[in-house]
Amino acid sequence: MAMMDDAGRQLVSDAVTAAEGATSGEIVTVLADSSDGYTDVALLWAAGAAFTAMSVFAAFPAPFLEAWDAMTGGWGHEWTSGEIASMVIALGLVKFLGVWLVQQWQPLKWLLVPGPVKTIRVHNQAVRQFRVGAERRTTGRTGVLIYLSMRERRAEIVADESIAAKVPAEVWGEAMGDMLAQIRKGAIAEGLAVGISDVGFILAEHFPRGAGDVNELPDRLIEV
């Protein structure tokens, strides 16, 4: 599904072209629906719920066994160790499948992903995208990637080694803040354009455009 219309894509592309007009740096923009599927997190929640249910059963078996007897005719009987073990396993499986299935409802699934996990996954994916699309692909190693992941509501700015050597990571904070302020209002293209402009300004200070400089990376928005 497209996350931005043609007008928004053009706005971002024009912002990159304008920002690169004053610098030898190259800006790559990536817009992602999400940075990870978080299947492992969903499995951990399901496994944790199953283990908890089985542990509660093991600690307090009587209420479960009495409830089962009541549902199957009301006549209690002497439970064997094998029957109790089977009940524990069945309870764990039912709990696991139930929690797994409810997490197929995407709003709940994303709510259950811890914030720090989202931050790490977004950062790792941004680095991967940078390595593919910008790292060492310019003559002076002056590529910068602006990465925005929509479902996690997080963004990253990753710079090539020549830029990182001159520009401390915290300098990108203002560009990030300006970009996210617009995105929080729902203005995704406008937010990216503002961030691109700020990044371009920083690059122009340290890497001004020289004579004969050519555009080495595409200006268009990359959607993944």
- Do 46 and 138 reside in the same domain of the chain? no
Among 192, 137, 184, 182, residue whose Cα is nearest residue 161: 137
User: Are 98 and 144 part of one and the same domain?
Assistant: no
Tell me which residue of 8, 48, 9 sits closest to 221, measured CA to CA: 9
User: Average pLDDT over the chain, rounded to whole?
Assistant: 86
Instruction: Of 1, 21, 27, give the one whose Cα is nearest residue 179.
Output: 27
- In percent, the amount of the chain with pLDDT more than 90 equals 46
Read off the pLDDT of each residue in 132-143 and give the average, rounded to a whole number: 71
Q: How confident is the model at residue 11 (pLDDT cuts 50, 70, 90)?
A: very high
Q: Which of 80, 111, 142 is a domain's end point?
A: 111
pLDDT (average), residues 209-216 = 72
How far out from the chain centre does Cα 209 lie? 34
CB atoms closer than 10 angstroms to residue 202: 22
Q: Are residues 65 and 47 in the same domain?
A: yes
Say if residue 161's pLDDT is above 80. Answer: yes
As for how many domains the chain has, the answer is: 2
pLDDT, greater one: 60 or 52: 52
Q: 83, 111, 139 — which closes off a domain?
A: 111
Among 2-11, 176-185, 212-221, the minimum mean pLDDT is found in: 212-221
Both 90 and 180 in one domain: the answer is no
Does residue 166 register a pLDDT over 50? Answer: yes
What domain range includes position 106? 39-111
Instruction: Indicate whether 190 pLDDT > 50.
Output: yes
| Same domain, yes or no: 124 and 85 | no
What per-residue confidence (pLDDT) applies to 62? 73
pLDDT at 1 over 60: no
Q: Do both 162 and 131 map to the same domain?
A: yes
Q: What is the mean pLDDT of residues 120-140?
A: 81
In angstroms, the CA 59 to CA 62 distance is 9
Confidence category of residue 136, pLDDT binned at 50, 70, 90 = low
Task: Give residues with Cβ within 8 angstroms of 125, minimum separation 6.
Answer: 32, 35, 36, 147, 149
